[in-house]
Amino acid sequence: MSFKTAARETLQDAQLRRNIGKATTLIREKRLRAVAELPDWERLRDAGEAIKASAMATLPEQLERLEAAVTAAGGTVHWARDGAEANAIVASIAKRVGTDEVIKVKSLATDEIELNEALEAEGIHALETDLAELIVQLNPDDKQSHILVPAIHRNRAEIRALFEQTIARGQSLGNEASAIAEAARLHLRNKFLTVPMAVSGANFGIAETGTIGVVESEGNGRMCLTLPRVLVTLMGIEKVLPSWQDLEVFLQLLPRSSTAERMNPYTSLWTGVTPDDGPREFHLILLDGGRTQVLEDEVGRAALHCIRCSACLNVCPVYERVGGQAYESVYPGPIGAILTPQLRGLDAAPSLPWASTLCGACYEVCPVKIDIPSILIHLRGRVVREEQSKLTPEALAMKGMAAAFATRRRYEAAQRLARLGRGPLAKAAIPGWTAMRDLPEPPKETFRDWWKRERGEG
């Protein structure tokens, strides 16, 4: 489905629009305050951008360092070219462990490769432990709509109703957030204590020490990372950071940008396995999944710097109106519009680079300074050149207009035609416009005709 068609559907859901509008407005204001507290915010952004750029420039070397360090600390490193390979690795570990259930801490990479579905096909159930992910998982018709708050499109009343039909069947939860959280806690606690294997994502993988980091708010992730006997972490290869010290930059940038907090409640860091503490087995799966291909695009590759803070979603006026589901990807909003078509191939999502007005609000907030509007424009160019036939009506109109603008004589002739409602200038944008908005009366005289009349040909 094109973005336009998908957006038309979600735009009709007034409740969804209200829920998202309310949530994003709130977090926008909080973020502004949280960021304003740091006098060196702009320098932190510069540092974040520089660290990411240098990590990407030396990616093969960093990944080899990471592999060596993880192995030295008693972990096992697996390389996966694509989602299918990664899914197969996870499934085979689960089979060896002998479990038909795994618990998960929220991970976009596993959503990207549809791990849950792949495991289900092997008879293994993957249970989400992040509250918002759980909410989405409990409703088979629902889809996540935000990278940090996947259930942002649901309000409390909807969630309560869902819980009363599923994990809290037969109970009446009332309207308190705490009652809803308690229902989820009871449901999950038993799983934390009995399921032998967990799957996590990674916010960072530090090449220097082999340390993996996950930041989260609820503590459910911490349970997954420490209680089960076997821990498997799926990490996109772009998540690697060269050195331990780099964390000081990102642990400041990330929480303020994502939840508008000074510090996130839980930061879990682990290095391989530790005798008599935590999981007995640790597996790190390094996923390519199209990323090396993105690296080849000199402009587009900056999309790989993303630390998934979701600040760009929360300020995007398009996202605010249509919600995450219209992007038909685990990466919605501005970052999704540049990342999804690159990861999947432009031909798989050719309308996403146009899902923006280029207003620039996303670039303004991005903690690692990804110039999203410029990448959108770059990808539009690639779609036009690589994917579309040269003879679309739009391509012809653009060609026609470029020709009309090439000389003064042709341009003035086109202006005369436009006033009669004909020619390349008149045809440019009219049909989709007047259905909803009036067009101004065409002026009796162009500016240049007025100038010539008043001042002569100069």
Partner 1 sequence: MRVALFITCFNDTLFPGAGKAVVTLLERLGCEVDFPLEQTCCGQMHVNSGYGHEAEGLHERFARVFGGYDAIVSPSASCTAHVRERVESIGGKVFELTEFLVDRLGVTDVGASFPHRVTFHPTCHSLRLLDVGDRPLRLLREVRGIDLVELEGARECCGFGGTFAVKNADTSMAMLSDKVRHVLDTRAEVCASADTSCLMHIGGALSRGRTGVRTMHIAEILAAQE
Question: Contact positions toward partner 1, by CB under 8 A?
Answer: 3-4, 7-8, 11, 17, 317-318, 321-322, 353-361, 363-364, 377, 380-385, 394-395, 398-399, 401-402, 404-408, 411, 415, 418, 425, 428-429, 431-433, 435-440, 442-443, 445-448, 450-452, 455, 457-458
Question: Is 342 a residue that touches ligand SF4 (CB under 6 A)?
Answer: no
- Compute the least distance from the CB of residue 320 to partner 1, in Å: 8
CA distances from 103 to 82, 169, 220, 309, 421 (A): 22, 22, 10, 23, 63
Q: Does 367 bind ligand SF4 (CB under 6 A)?
A: yes
Q: What is the DSSP string of 143-182?
A: ----SS-TTTT--HHHHHHHHHHTTTTT----S-HHHHHH
Q: How far is the CB of 227 from ligand SF4 (least distance, A)?
A: 30
Q: Do you know the residue count of the chain? A: 458
Query: Choosing among partner 1, ligand SF4, none, which partner's interface includes residue 312 (Cβ < 5 to 8 Å by kind)?
Result: ligand SF4
**Backbone phi and psi for residue 131, each to the nearest 5 degrees, phi listed first:** -55, -45
Nearest approach in angstroms of CB 112 to ligand SF4 is 14
- Alpha-carbon distance of 335 to 101, in angstroms, equals 32
Contacts of 205 (CB under 8 A, 6+ apart): 66, 211, 212, 213, 235, 239, 240, 241, 284
Contact between 306 and ligand SF4 by CB under 6 A: the answer reads yes
Q: Which of 414, 316, 334, 344 is nearest to 114 (CA)?
A: 344
Min dist CB 363 to partner 1, Å, is 7
Question: Is the CB of 198 or the CB of 307 nearer to ligand SF4?
Answer: 307
Q: How far is the CB of 22 from partner 1 (least distance, A)?
A: 13
Write down the least CB distance from residue 314 to ligand SF4, Å: 9
d(Cα 251, Cα 262) in Å, to the nearest integer?
Answer: 9
Q: Which stretch binds ligand SF4 (CB under 6 A): 106-114, 200-208, 273-281, 304-312?
A: 304-312
Site string for ligand SF4, 310-329 (x = CB under 6 A): xxx-----------------
Name which position in 335, 337, 346, 383 contacts ligand SF4 (CB under 6 A): 335
Per CB under 6 A, the segment of 99-107, 109-117, 166-174, 366-374 that binds ligand SF4 is 366-374
Beta carbon nearer to partner 1, 343 or 355: 355
Residue with tokens 């309207």: 175
Rounded to the nearest 10 degrees, the angle between the axes of helix 177-194 and helix 156-165 is: 50
- Asked if residue 321 lies in contact with residue 351, where contact means CB atoms within 8 angstroms, the answer is no
Q: Compute CA distances 411 → 149, 341, 406, whole Å.
A: 51, 36, 7
Q: Which two tokens stand for residue 111?
A: 């959503």
CA distance 88 to 398: 47
Which residues sit at the interface with ligand SF4, rule CB under 6 A?
Answer: 257, 306-312, 335, 365-368, 370
